[in-house]
Amino acid sequence: MSHRTPMAATTATRHAMSWVAMLSLGLAFALSARAQVPAQAAPQQGAAHPIVLHAARLLEIDTGRMISPGEILIEGERIAAVGSAVSHPADAQLIDLGDCTLLPGLIDAHVHLFLHPGAEDLQTVQESVPQRTILAMLAARDDLMAGFTAERDMGTEGAGSADSAVRDAINTGLILGPRLRISGNAIDILGGHEDANHFNPAQHVLSNATYANSADEIVAAIRQQHKEGSDFVKMYETGPDSMQGGALHTPYQYTVAQLKAAIDEAARFGAVVAVHAMGEPGTLYAAQAGVASIDHATQLSDETMRIMKAKGIPAVPTFTIFEYFMNESEAGGRRERPMLEYKIKEFKKQIAAGIPFAVGSDVGPFPHGTQARELELMVKFGMKPLAVLQADMINGAKLLGWGGQIGELKPGYFADIVAVPGSPLEDITVVEHVSFVMKGGATVRMPAAAR
């Protein structure tokens, strides 16, 4: 969920369909999703014959070199060749995408598939887990169609391990969606960031995260989540934040030793720990412990940035959620504008310090499929377009544990490919206008002109 305090309650019926309607919609979606994929390519399998993609341009993400024209030969689920001209096997399907640029699939390192626009607190209380799972399935499809071929789901917000069912359904080709790394419930302290702090205590409203108040409880929670299928661990390192006198105030939730206990336990079975951390000293503790990423990262001290740079810990700024809440209402503007202005100022310091970044939008509270805005805001607030694309694709792939497999257009990599109009190096906003999407060699979105 976002950094901010719980939203005011609204009528839940405005944001949720009945369970019967949702089940019908979900079944219809599952069938229609299969129907949208070409007969020769199931959602998670490459085509039975080679495919050659041709476009006006192809961007080498690591070097920034624009190849014109650009071609990619796909065999099965992987890229076989890349260049201005590749071999065209006799049985290859040629897809000419015209005046477009070929890019690796976009990566969102901070999503919430189990959230949708509306009263976030009430969603988790009034919508059943099966209902929320169907909505998550639809959200995954929307994100893929927008060009996001890989994502990291940063907590189900009270839906437990339901995200493992969505991931597994995608992996087995039952539904369309990105490659997913999932955390299950996030981990939080009693009375922490995601606890039901503003509800009547007598009603015993459940937390949107899993309680863990000591190192032993953290280890137990991680083991339970691993048993239920989690890929990594998400922890809330800072609590509710506020701006006071132009300064950010946000209490830390876990000590360095407690975070280190989590990291050691996750490492035992090959996983990592990512944290929600808005500011100091929580961000410093997270860096000292050696987390995989610091998400939101609104306030980082010089020492924190020094450690992050030395250890290669990326910040994931999530500007889009701040902008969304600021523009949501007049009250939201009054509350969020000072925070966003502070965040932008700090972001410029982070760029100057040379820390690594990954791209994550915190999508969920705002509509899925619209999160390419995050790349635009990172450019608007100080990064170069190529640096943002590299943060998204190369750093994002590493953060999700798929470095060397996705995030670049190179032989041997998975054929996760999108096409955008124009050049993103000249106009980063083109990433909001993806016209072609391929995941693992299967075409899931095709412009009408190329059919």
pLDDT in tens, 52-65: 999 999 999 999 99
**Domains (range + CATH), the chain:** 51-105+410-450 (2.30.40.10), 110-134+147-399 (3.20.20.140)
- Asked if 54 and 96 touch (Cβ cutoff 8 Å), the reply is yes
Residue 4 has pLDDT above 50, yes or no: no
Going from the C-alpha of 96 to that of each of 249, 350, 419, the distances in angstroms are 53, 41, 11
- pTM across the whole model: 0.90
Contact indicator for 189, 161 with CB cutoff of 8 Å: no
Question: How far, in Å, CA of 242 to CA of 251, rounded?
Answer: 10
Q: Are 74 and 81 in contact (CB under 8 A)?
A: no
Q: Give the model's pLDDT for residue 175.
A: 97
CA separation for the pair 123, 115 (Å, rounded): 7
User: Residue 396 has which token pair?
Assistant: 């994002």
Strand-strand pairing, 66-67 and 247-249: unpaired
Mean pLDDT of all residues in 185-196: 86
User: Tokens representing 69?
Assistant: 């024209």
| DSSP category for residue 198 | T
Alpha helices in 78-161 (DSSP H): 120-126, 129-145
| 436 phi, psi to nearest 5 deg | -135, 135
Average pLDDT for residues 420-438, to the nearest whole number?
98
Measured CA distances, 270 to 157, 226, 231, 236, 288 (Å): 24, 11, 9, 21, 20
Which residue is it, tokens 């132009």?
246
Structure confidence at residue 432 as a pLDDT band (50, 70, 90) = very high
Could you tell me if 397 and 413 are in contact, meaning their C-beta atoms sit under 8 angstroms apart? no
Mean of per-residue pLDDT scores for the chain: 90
What pLDDT is stored for residue 315 in this prediction? Answer: 98
